[in-house]
Amino acid sequence: MKSLVFSALILFGLGCGTAEMNSPDVPIIPLPVSVTAGAGYFAFTDATAFKTDSEEVAAVVERFASEIRVSTGLPLMVAFDEGDIEVGLQADLGVESYQLTIDSDRIALKGGDLAGIFYGLQSLRQLLPAQIEANVVASNVDWSVPAITISDAPRFPYRGMHLDVGRYFFDVAFVKKYIDTMSRYKFNRFHWHLTEDQGWRIEIKKYPLLTEVAAWRKETIVEKNFDPYIGDGIPHGGFYTQDEIREVVAYAAERFVTIIPEIEMPGHSTAVIAAYPQLGCRSEKIEVAVTWGVKDEILCPSEETFTFLTDVLTEVLDLFPSPKIHIGADEVPKTNWKNNAVAQSIIKRENLADEEELQSWFIKRIEAFLSANGRTLIGWDEILEGGLAPNATVMSWRGVVGGIEAARQGHDVIMTPTKYAYFDFYQADPASEPLAMNWAGFTIPLDTVYSFEPIPEELTASEAKHIIGAQANVWTEYISTPEYVEYMAYPRALAMAEVVWSPKEKRNIDSFYTRLVGNLPHLESMGVNYRIPESRNANPTGFAANQ
């Protein structure tokens, strides 16, 4: 990888020496609200220490110091009485905001809250040489940072990255690394897609077959060989124990990341029905899915299903403090409801027009349960069909149309339109890339992600307030290894980080590419297997981007 990064730098025609750091294109991603270059450098030495004003601030600083002690080998004490890096709270700065002032003899970091301090420290980390990310002492490095003043605050409160662990299971160590990496780019929501047709990944004490049966499939389709079907013959599966989940939730919280668990219903439920056939709408025994695509196996709207779902959610709520819980609700073919007596009798009893309204009735029942437990619901934009549940947040994935509609109805919206936010899609000419998703027929290069604007022009200012942020999704049908997840997510996640954090009017693709050059060595040093981007304006394959 080292040599690849080196060639990437040559490709860009730039190095990453300290001189360039003093330019306005200081290599911080996402771009801060305001950056003013000063004169000179602050050097980290044996005598450098952090001074904090409270236990809670000290805890955040200590975590950071403990990480950079590893690479610098410096003592970097955290104290209350003295220190040349002074860190404290200043509430009037606002949530998640910070001010970082670096002079040649001292550094001052003020955060509007602890998250703000954490983000200020991430900016400081990015100003240090890339070896700061190393997990061994890096010798002969000049640990200095340029004099600079930064004022910074996020554009959106919801800045998300998603990971599908249903299609392929990823272990706790990797999930932690994924969260750690995203948090360094100031993402604050991890959407953990925990259940799928091809695998259920969360231990639920009351329903042991979910982890004994639903977490395992006998094999996986090879590439796109649906017809004739070719399977790999290799069993695949795995799940997180509740202890592991608690550990990951705590790990994320230390990085100011809230985990939003997703429990899919009523669709994407083949694995559940394989374990508990009585929850489906048909009596045949089925297996955990081995192929991709939209499946007919959906949960029956019976009382037994609601008991199951509320039991499952009770355990989920106990594990995840997130105020918002994702209940899926995408891609629900209604065939099995059309042919099922229970479903039809509810339509009649509740005076519903059709199966779409039955889905809406289903989701509203789940919302009532969540709201009785002090939480609200997020669903994919299909929850608009048949009428939105009262406090639902809509995740708009089939373009931004659903998001516009929901915002007009006064609902909160998270924008994640496929065209810009699906990191399972190819990022360059498919001919030169490993197998990836392309069901919509387009490719999503880095600059396309960067060009994404989460607030549609059609919205009035008051409607636009309902767009609480955006998210990038990593679906894993064709992504079976951690290395490939990273290849698909990075550096596109850096472009998305800037979309959700930086002021719209300051975003500039040329500046982004320049800062990217300074930043890629950090990803390299963190051991993230990012894709080396083509140089700006180069089109080596002659492949046209999808815009």
Least Cβ distance, residue 289 to ligand TNX (angstroms)? 11
392 binding ligand TNX? (CB under 6 A): no
In whole angstroms, the minimum distance from the beta carbon of 523 to ligand TNX comes to: 24
Q: Is the peptide bond before 228 cis (omega within 30 degrees of 0)?
A: yes
Q: Does 424 bind ligand TNX (CB under 6 A)?
A: yes
Of 79, 127, 397, 130, nearest in space to 262 by CA:
397
State the minimum distance, in angstroms, from the CB of residue 388 to ligand TNX: 16
How many residues bind ligand TNX (CB under 6 A)? The answer is 9
| Stretch 50-79 residues interacting with ligand TNX (CB under 6 A) | none
Q: Minimum CB separation from ligand TNX for residue 164, in Å?
A: 6
Which residue from 122, 12, 120 is spatially nearest to 446, judged by alpha carbons?
12
CA 296, 302, 303 angle in degrees (round to 5)?
150
Tell me whether residue 232 or residue 330 sits nearer to ligand TNX (CB atom). 330
CA atoms within 13 A on the CB side of 367: 21
The CB-of-414 to ligand TNX minimum distance in angstroms stands at: 12
Helix/strand/coil percentages in the chain, nearest 5 = 40, 20, 40
413 binds ligand TNX (CB under 6 A): no
Given 422, 450, 484, 513, the residue binding ligand TNX (CB under 6 A): 422
Site for ligand TNX contains 304 (CB under 6 A): no
**Minimum CB separation from ligand TNX for residue 495, in Å?**
18
Nearer to ligand TNX, 305 or 416 (CB): 416
CB of 165 to ligand TNX, least distance (A): 12
Residue that the structure tokens 């299903």 belong to: 305
330 binds ligand TNX (CB under 6 A): yes
Q: Which is nearer to ligand TNX, 30 or 402 (CB)?
A: 402
The yes or no reply on residue 474 touching ligand TNX (CB under 6 A) is: no
475 near ligand TNX, judged by CB under 6 A: yes
Distance CA 244, CA 266 (A): 26
d(CA 530, CA 488): 7
264 is a contact residue toward ligand TNX (CB under 6 A)? no
Q: How far apart are CA 468 and CA 454, in angstroms?
A: 9
Sign of torsion over alpha carbons 390, 464, 445, 122:
negative
Q: Which is nearer to ligand TNX, 143 or 420 (CB)?
A: 420
User: For residues 347 and 378, which CB has a smaller minimum distance to ligand TNX in the complex?
Assistant: 378
Shortest approach of ligand TNX to residue 193 CB, angstroms?
A: 8
Per-residue tokens: 108: 């001052």
Q: What is the DSSP string of 475-523?
A: --TT--SHHHHHHHHTTHHHHHHHHHHS-GGG--HHHHHHHHHHHHHHH
- Amino acid (one-letter) located at 41: Y
Q: What type of residue sits at position 313?
A: L
Question: How far is Cα 251 from Cα 219, in angstroms, rounded to an integer?
Answer: 32
Q: Does 331 bind ligand TNX (CB under 6 A)?
A: yes
Closest distance to ligand TNX from the beta carbon of 397 (Å): 5
Note the Cα 345 to chain centre separation in Å. Answer: 40
**Residue 498 contacts ligand TNX per CB under 6 A:** no
DSSP state of 35: E
**Roughly what angle, to the nearest 10 degrees, separates helices 492-501 and 509-526?**
120
Which of 276, 320, 337, 397 is the binder for ligand TNX (CB under 6 A)? Answer: 397
User: Which is closer to ligand TNX, CB of 20 or CB of 331?
Assistant: 331
Under a CB-based contact definition with an 8 Å cutoff, are residues 170 and 482 in contact? Answer: yes
Please say which residue, 295 or 466, places its beta carbon nearer to ligand TNX: 295
- Asked if 267 and 298 count as a contact pair (C-beta separation under 8 A), the reply is yes
Q: Which of 61, 436, 437, 489 binds ligand TNX (CB under 6 A)?
A: 437
Residue 459 within binding range of ligand TNX, rule CB under 6 A: no
The answer to the question of residue 447 lying near ligand TNX (CB under 6 A) is no
The distance of closest approach from Cβ of residue 57 to ligand TNX in the complex, given in angstroms and rounded to an integer, is: 39
Strands 189-193, 158-164: pairing kind: parallel
Contacts of 381 (CB under 8 A, 6+ apart): 330, 394, 395, 396, 397, 398, 401, 402, 403, 406
* Closer Cβ to ligand TNX, 475 or 530, answer by number: 475
Smallest distance, Å, CB 191 to ligand TNX? Answer: 11
* Cβ distance to ligand TNX smaller for residue 424 or 498: 424
Please give the structure tokens belonging to residue 102. 């670096």
Alpha-helix runs per DSSP H in 236-275: 242-254, 270-275
Enter the tokens of residue 168.
Answer: 């392929």
What letter does residue 280 receive in the DSSP assignment? B
Find the shortest distance in angstroms from Cβ 264 to ligand TNX: 9
Least distance from ligand TNX to the Cβ atom of residue 497, Å: 21
Closest to ligand TNX by CB, 254 or 331: 331
463: contact with ligand TNX by CB under 6 A: no
Residues from 348 through 387 that contact ligand TNX (CB under 6 A): 380
Asked if 429 interacts with ligand TNX (CB under 6 A), we say no
When asked if residue 247 is in the footprint of ligand TNX (CB under 6 A), the reply is no
Q: What 8-state DSSP symbol labels residue 105?
A: S
Lookup: tokens for 437? 């998703």
Positions touching ligand TNX (CB under 6 A) are 330-331, 380, 397, 422, 424, 437, 475, 477
